[in-house]
Structure 1
Amino acid sequence: MADVWTVSDWAIGEADPAAFIAAFSRFADAATALGGAREGMILQDVHDSTHFVVVRRWDSEAVIEVWAQEQQLHDDELTALVPQGSKAAVLVKVAELGGEGSGTSQGSR
């Protein structure tokens, strides 16, 4: 199983951030119901409350393709809030980065 991720970058303009988060959560729930969608998160820019990045891990690119075909059934509320949509990409993990306590070398200081 590949470690496949989707990333979408959202500039929501005048939309209410709480409404965007709620709408995107419902949109993502539809992906979860289809199967193959794993953990994900909605990240908000600390300096621009109208900028969000959404990251989600999937079982495979094939699962993402199925979701892409079905998403039009679930995106009305989201596109009403942010009609210009987002910039999106499908990515594959190529390396792990160590964190505090991970035992991975952090280089010399």
Structure 2
Amino acid sequence: MEFNINKGIGKSVEFKGLKAQYLFIFAAGLLAVFIVFVVMYMAGADQWVCIGFGVISATMLVGFTFRLNEKYGEHGLMKILAKRNHPRYLINRKIPRRLFKRSQKKKRVESPKK
């Protein structure tokens, strides 16, 4: 069985439909689920509770990641994060008359040198 991870030069990484940052979210999420599974098992939780937790959380992670990938696309998460940094509205505290008035540059008067 052979998997192609990259489809060409200059294109983003894609694996089984997951693109770019979603692939990293998916891998990090599965690693986190595995670590929590191991910690639960080592702490003495019941074996079936650990297996149930692992299966349910991994299934939810897969569904969530693929849904994000489908909904927002390759650069969607970066756009959402960038949108949080933009102001909701701009405030202009000048009176309306000054907004439409042409600004006249004042000529600088030089003082005579002594």
Of structures 1 and 2, the one scoring higher in RCO (CA 8 A, sep 6+) is 1
For the pair shown, which has the larger CA radius of gyration, 1 or 2?
2
Higher percent of residues as helix: 2
Q: TM-score if structure 2 supplies the norm length? A: 0.28
Higher percent of residues as strand: 1
Q: TM-score if structure 1 supplies the norm length? A: 0.28
